[in-house]
Amino acid sequence: MSNTNLLQEFHAYQRKIASKRYVNFLINWDAATEAPKKSMLYRAQMQGELAADQFAYQMDPKNLDLLENVSNRSDIDELDRLSAKKYLKEINKIRNIPQKEYVQSVQNRSIISRVWEEAKQTNDYPLFAPYLDKFLNDVKMALYYRDVKQQDYFDVLLDDNEEGMDSKKYDLFFDTIKAELVPLMKKCLLQGREIDDSLLYAYGSKAKQEEMVRYLADVCYYDLKAGVIKTSVHPFTSSAGTPDDVRFTVRYHENYFTGSLMAAMHEMGHAIHAQQCDPASAGTNLFGGPSAGIAESQSRFNENYIGRSLAFWQTHYSKLQQVYPELLNNVGVTDFWRVLNRIKPTANRLEADELSYPFHIILRYELERGIFSNQISVKELPELWRQKSLEYLGVMPNNDSEGVLQDVHWGGNVGFGYFPTYALGTAYGAQFRAAMLRELEIDQAIRDNRLDRINSWLKEKIHFHCGSKTPEQILLDATGEAFNVRYYIDYLKEKYDMIYFH
């Protein structure tokens, strides 16, 4: 086949897959944000039908040949070849699963997401457990059909989420974190100033939090004409497959008003990433980022390195005071910033300060490893969660809803092997920040209310490239060196020194 014909066919393939992804995006968005409760089973049935179509299309020998051809021909544009390779990589993960089992696993995932919501809202782990069991079996079944050896299950999941990572590398990473951050936390808490954080738990109405989230969207240059902000049980960002439609959710706790603000900053980090992708990648599998680690580096950058910075609140605290005058008019901005960043290990990851955050990840990482080495059963999870929470955070969750059920990930839509990328991404983000500082006065840009300057840097170095580079390459090109955990540790030491000792 001529180069031109082949490319035409390949681009038609990309569009067809894009339409199927678009449908999945929309169904999942709807299910998590507004679909009625009783629609669960019908939706699962429909998702099964659609999954069967998609599976048949992907496994059609004609299409598989097409992908092989495109990925191997040197007279074809590099991005097209890369795209073809990526389709094949995803296909190879499910290729040998019998279609019926594959479809069943899609239906199971559709249902477990809603059961998780119900279980979390009603604090009912026994309701969730059998579905989690089924989901785990489906994940293991897929690994089995991929010919992965059982002892490699967890490493393969880690690699699926961040290419090149495995448990050895994560162990090293987490060992450094433990070695550096545990003494730092102790020093701050034992020798540093006391910080009264009671104002964080004052009543803050949902309506006012919504007003602040809209304000932050404006500050961050999140484009609402290409986006939607909604609520869901767990905050998330999702895109239709184009920079022109990137949506995110938050949740509102009226007794923890900064929670929604920080969640919004986190999700907007993801959302701006997607909104700043090369528009030419829309509808292809290169749209988005190269990996979960890079994705989380952007969310955590916006959340922590911007949203938890002193410069940010020096600029926007007056707005917050205007929204909550009774609560904040007698609190100075530096004090507010200290309170926002105070070290306070809690059971809830989404409410964690920057120092205790990685320990939430270590907890989940160790539990997932135990699950995939068959040392931990679904039944034991709540108790082991409590033990590890006490061990790493010094806190017992009040109940399963705030413990083992707190995150959406095991509820089907994200899966296993993802959590470590939050910590890794946070560390990537610190390295990006250090590189950005060599070219840009970050604090000045924040104080000038010009986050567009920061967004531009991120766009040029990271966002615009979508999935066309590996995480390693992005780090190298953007920062001039391979991943180096020191930037993260140094950032935390400097910041927490400021908070507790100055």
Residues 190-229, mask of contacts with its own copies (x by CB under 8 A)? ---------------------------------xxxxxx-
Q: Give the torsion sign (CA, 478, 304, 415, 281).
A: negative
- Residue among 10, 18, 66, 276 that touches its own copies (CB under 8 A): 18
**Residues written for the chain:** 502
Minimum Å gap between C-beta 254 and its own copies is 18
Contact 189, 342 (CB under 8 A): no
The single residue of 267, 296, 354, 402 carrying the catalytic annotation is 267
- Residue among 7, 9, 11, 50 that touches its own copies (CB under 8 A): 50
- When the beta carbons of 181 and 286 are compared against its own copies, the nearer one is 286
- When the beta carbons of 236 and 428 are compared against its own copies, the nearer one is 236
Minimum Å gap between C-beta 207 and its own copies is 10
Minimum Å gap between C-beta 455 and its own copies is 17
Which secondary-structure segment (H or E) carries 110? helix 99-122
Contact 333, 317 (CB under 8 A): yes
Active-site annotation holds for 118: no
- Residue among 7, 9, 22, 81 that touches its own copies (CB under 8 A): 22
Query: Taking CB under 8 A as the rule, does residue 15 contact its own copies?
Result: yes
Query: Taking CB under 8 A as the rule, does residue 56 contact its own copies?
Result: no
- Residue among 2, 5, 36, 439 that touches its own copies (CB under 8 A): 36
- When the beta carbons of 184 and 226 are compared against its own copies, the nearer one is 226
- Supply angle C-alpha 42, 47, 51, rounded to 5: 155
22-28 long-range Cβ contacts below 8 angstroms, 24+ apart = 22/240, 22/241, 23/50, 24/50, 25/238, 25/239, 25/240, 25/241, 26/240, 28/113, 28/238, 28/413
Alpha helix ranges (H) inside 281-323 = 292-300, 310-323
Report the first-to-last Cα separation within the chain, whole angstroms.
Answer: 69
In this chain, which stretch among 83-91, 239-247, 357-365, 376-384 interacts with its own copies, using CB under 8 A?
239-247
- Residue among 53, 77, 218, 448 that touches its own copies (CB under 8 A): 53
Q: Which amino acid is at 461?
A: K
Q: Cβ atoms within 10 A of the Cβ of 4, count?
A: 8
Minimum Å gap between C-beta 326 and its own copies is 23
- Residue among 8, 45, 122, 398 that touches its own copies (CB under 8 A): 45
Contact 31, 232 (CB under 8 A): no
In this chain, which stretch among 26-34, 112-120, 381-389, 455-463 interacts with its own copies, using CB under 8 A?
26-34
Minimum Å gap between C-beta 111 and its own copies is 14
- When the beta carbons of 24 and 137 are compared against its own copies, the nearer one is 24
Q: What is residue 343's three-state secondary structure?
A: coil
Query: Taking CB under 8 A as the rule, does residue 34 contact its own copies?
Result: yes
> What is d(CA 222, CA 235) in angstroms, rounded to the nearest whole number?
16
In this chain, which stretch among 19-27, 68-76, 177-185, 386-394 interacts with its own copies, using CB under 8 A?
19-27
- When the beta carbons of 9 and 380 are compared against its own copies, the nearer one is 9
What is the maximum alpha-carbon separation in the chain?
74
Query: Taking CB under 8 A as the rule, does residue 41 contact its own copies?
Result: yes
> What is d(CA 490, CA 502) in angstroms, rounded to the nearest whole number?
17
> What is d(CA 295, CA 448) in angstroms, rounded to the nearest whole number?
26
Residues 6+ apart with CB under 8 A from 58: 17, 64, 87, 91, 94
**Segment 242-271, which members bind its own copies (CB under 8 A)?**
242, 244-245, 247
Burial group, residue 215, by CB count within 10 angstroms (0-12, 13-18, 19+): middle
Structure tokens at 267: 């999700």
Minimum Å gap between C-beta 468 and its own copies is 20
> What is d(CA 360, CA 344) in angstroms, rounded to the nearest whole number?
12
Minimum Å gap between C-beta 256 and its own copies is 25
- When the beta carbons of 223 and 254 are compared against its own copies, the nearer one is 223
> What is d(CA 454, CA 116) in angstroms, rounded to the nearest whole number?
37
Q: Could you tell me how far CA 14 lies from the centroid of its own chain?
A: 25
Number of residues that bind its own copies (CB under 8 A): 39
Query: Taking CB under 8 A as the rule, does residue 76 contact its own copies?
Result: no
> What is d(CA 409, CA 397) in angstroms, rounded to the nearest whole number?
18
Query: Taking CB under 8 A as the rule, does residue 358 contact its own copies?
Result: no
**Segment 447-486, which members bind its own copies (CB under 8 A)?**
none
Strand partners, 230: 249
In this chain, which stretch among 32-40, 79-87, 292-300, 310-318 interacts with its own copies, using CB under 8 A?
32-40
Report the catalytic residues.
267
Residues of this chain that interact with its own copies (CB under 8 A) are 15-16, 18-19, 22-23, 26-27, 29-30, 34-39, 41-43, 45-46, 49-50, 53, 223-228, 230, 240-242, 244-245, 247, 282-283
